Chains A and B, each alone.
Chain A
Amino acid sequence: MAEIVLDKVSKKFPDGTTAVRDVDLEIADGEFVILVGPSGCGKSTTLNMIAGLEDISSGELRIGGQRVNDKAPRDRDIAMVFQSYALYPNMTVRENMAFPLRLAKLDKETIAQKVEEAAKVLELTALLDRKPANLSGGQRQRVAMGRAIVRQPKAFLMDEPLSNLDAKLRVQMRTVVSRLQKQLGTTTVYVTHDQTEAMTLGDRVVIMRGGAVQQVGPPQELYDHPNNLFVAGFIGSPSMNFLTAKVEEGTLRTALGDVPIGDRIRRELEGADAPRELILGIRPEHFEDAELIDEETGRRGMEFTAPVDIVESMGSDKYVYLSVEGERATSAELEELAADAGAADFSGAGSNLVTRLSAESTVTEGEDRRVWFNLEKIHLFDPSDGRNLTLHEGRAAGTLAD
């Protein structure tokens, strides 16, 4: 077991593109770190560089304090789980799991014993003599995990290991992976494009975009205090609502009405080159049916009226889609996020707010409804560089902060 340190690691491809740019990351011994981002963000390349399957163009990679830039994968003592599982089709489950041990030239009894142990942990004992072709997706996934844990490597690398499973099984395997990692306490780097996996699995999450790290931190911190527009939009489901906000006469003109701002934000906006147009971000759960808000709470936010488009009752709460006028907020980050979600060419007219209201709300489709939102929880972003203006010393505190 060991810590993994990436020191200004970069990857340049021969055609001149930079896949990974100056990634600095210290992964502690036993830590579970998630690399997440849309496709093409460099997360898999980063993982492959740690694995030794791709060369590092510049920077240094240390595993257990030792520089391993030029070491072959076999000399790094790390195991990897592939998205396709990469099980050897010509070998049985037992042979698959024994393969790394046989390459390491362990004696037969030790191999047999270790395979049995790993199989027991993953409940594979009954399947040991089957070929991969005769296994279900979930079983194959477990064999791939078994092959990784069997030789007790310094670290596990997992490349979207659950993305080929159906939704239900994925949730189930998520807990298996999580429990296994805690049980073994092995340093793990896990790549995924699924923000739910990122939120639920990791000790820390690394969000990447265009080859660069956007933010590193525990999942909740990324959720509550996103560094920038990209992180804010990427984390959370349904994702944060974004609206344009014009700075005029000390307030913000938005489709939801004029939003007051506190001193700190005002100071930010006083500079000569300060942006005149901002992007306002509100998470769905920071809206509430105005009828259900007591006066005390009500004062911390503001209300607006909007026609109700669709109501989806989830039981525990209601997703309510509201139509609001005004243009949709645009920026490079938001477009990239939309493209990644496959929604780039399907946006409908006007803009739509997704809100998450209490189950008790009596809202119905088609009516105009008074809706309240929490000013302490909203974010303001500079559309030119995506920076979160409400962030102060790493903490977001809404627009009213002094």
Chain B
Amino acid sequence: MADTTTRAKVRWGLLDVAVVVFALTPVLWIMSLSFKTPATLTDGKFIPREWTLENYRTIFATDQFVRALINSIGIALIATTIAVVLGAMAAYAISRLDFPGKRLLIGVSLLIAMFPQVSLVSPLFEIERQLGLFDTWPGLILPYITFALPLAIYTLSAFFKQIPWDLEKAAKMDGATQGQAFRRVIAPLAAPGLFTTAILVFIFCWNDFLFAISLTSTERSRTVPVALSFFTGASQFEDPTGAICAAAVVITVPIILFVLFFQRRIVSGLTSGAVKG
């Protein structure tokens, strides 16, 4: 018996290792490239022979990258905040109130989740040019909110449905006002769901490339993924590979931190929102 469990453990262990290697190799590879010196960059070795931080120094010295990083962070944070707030309002209504049009809202957000974003690129390009939103932060924030909302609504309504709303009544019986009941009982329970949703929405906004490259034209509002594709290096004649890799690693850091610290929450958020919703 003990023998079979040990064998089973070894077998699972090997599978686990395979998964981990498969998942991490491309990430480790781009990290490795970012630490290579220009001389060893093209040696094709997976592990750098000479380590350097030069590439990072380069990108943080260029206005192009710093500006894009600020744009990325700012746009993603604002879009996330708005999407989570609007999504929470709608999700509360969906999970707690009864009103005509509720199913319709669920249907519409489902459709938007499946919507081909590229279909919006042409009309939004034209509309935003007319409205003066082209190549501005709001010009990107708006479509991000739109496509993040279905995700936010589904995830949050799944979370809200798990909150035992009897507690609201209990708090009222214990002498709380509506406001106190919300602040001291419901809000602490809803916070983890809001936080998880915010992470998912942030990842979505942080990741976008299509809107960012179509609806921007200058450094004014270009985000990092787009800036990466335009990178030319410090001078025209320098190979940008090292710089691109360093920049890529920088924008991967927040994702890795999220995944490391909130793995459980991200998994529960994704699955509850996607399958039940």
Q: Do A and B touch directly, given a CB cutoff of 8 Å in the complex?
A: yes
User: What is the interface of chain A, defined by CB distance below 8 A to chain B?
Assistant: 51-53, 72-74, 78-80, 82, 84, 86, 88-90, 99-100, 103-104, 147, 151, 157
The answer to whether B164 and A73 touch across the interface, beta carbons within 8 angstroms, is no
Q: Which residues of B contact A78 (CB under 8 A)?
A: 173
Q: Does B3 contact A (CB under 8 A)?
A: no
CA gap between A51 and B172 in the complex, in Å: 9
| Among listed B4-12, B66-74, B140-148, B175-183, interface-contacting one | B175-183
The answer to whether A90 and B188 touch across the interface, beta carbons within 8 angstroms, is yes
Minimum CB distance partner of B172 in chain A: A73
The answer to whether A147 and B174 touch across the interface, beta carbons within 8 angstroms, is yes
A137 CB, nearest partner CB in chain B, Å:
15
Interface centre among A86, A100, A104 (most CB of B within 10 A): A86
Q: Which residues of A contact B189 (CB under 8 A)?
A: 89-90
A103 CB, nearest partner CB in chain B, Å:
4
B165 CB, nearest partner CB in chain A, Å:
9
The answer to whether A86 and B166 touch across the interface, beta carbons within 8 angstroms, is yes
Q: Does B170 contact A (CB under 8 A)?
A: yes
CA gap between A82 and B174 in the complex, in Å: 12
The answer to whether B175 and A74 touch across the interface, beta carbons within 8 angstroms, is yes
Q: Which residues of B contact A82 (CB under 8 A)?
A: 166, 169-170
Beyond A74-B175, A82-B166, A88-B185, 14 extra complex contacts between A and B, CB < 8 Å: A51-B169, A52-B172, A72-B172, A73-B173, A74-B176, A74-B177, A79-B173, A80-B170, A80-B173, A84-B166, A86-B167, A90-B188, A100-B175, A151-B175
CA gap between A84 and B168 in the complex, in Å: 12
Minimum CB distance partner of A75 in chain B: B175
Interface centre among B167, B169, B177 (most CB of A within 10 A): B169
CA gap between A104 and B185 in the complex, in Å: 16
Q: Which residues of A contact B184 (CB under 8 A)?
A: 99
Q: A88-B185, A90-B189 are in contact. Are A74 and B172 (CB under 8 A)?
A: yes
CA gap between A90 and B188 in the complex, in Å: 7
A400 CB, nearest partner CB in chain B, Å:
52
Q: Which residues of B contact A88 (CB under 8 A)?
A: 167, 170-171, 185
Minimum CB distance partner of A79 in chain B: B173
Minimum CB distance partner of A150 in chain B: B174
CA gap between A99 and B176 in the complex, in Å: 9
Q: A53-B169, A80-B170 are in contact. Are A86 and B164 (CB under 8 A)?
A: yes
A349 CB, nearest partner CB in chain B, Å:
44
Q: Which residues of B contact A52 (CB under 8 A)?
A: 172
The answer to whether B174 and A99 touch across the interface, beta carbons within 8 angstroms, is yes
A139 CB, nearest partner CB in chain B, Å:
17
The answer to whether A103 and B174 touch across the interface, beta carbons within 8 angstroms, is yes
22 A–B pairs (Cβ distance < 8 Å), ordered by A:
A51-B173, A53-B169, A72-B177, A74-B174, A74-B176, A80-B169, A80-B173, A82-B166, A82-B170, A84-B164, A84-B166, A86-B164, A86-B166, A88-B171, A90-B188, A90-B189, A99-B171, A99-B184, A100-B175, A103-B174, A103-B180, A104-B175
CA gap between A22 and B163 in the complex, in Å: 35
CA gap between A100 and B170 in the complex, in Å: 10
Minimum CB distance partner of A103 in chain B: B175
Minimum CB distance partner of A78 in chain B: B173
Q: Which residues of B contact A104 (CB under 8 A)?
A: 175
CA gap between A80 and B189 in the complex, in Å: 21
Q: Which residues of B contact A90 (CB under 8 A)?
A: 188-189
A14 CB, nearest partner CB in chain B, Å:
10
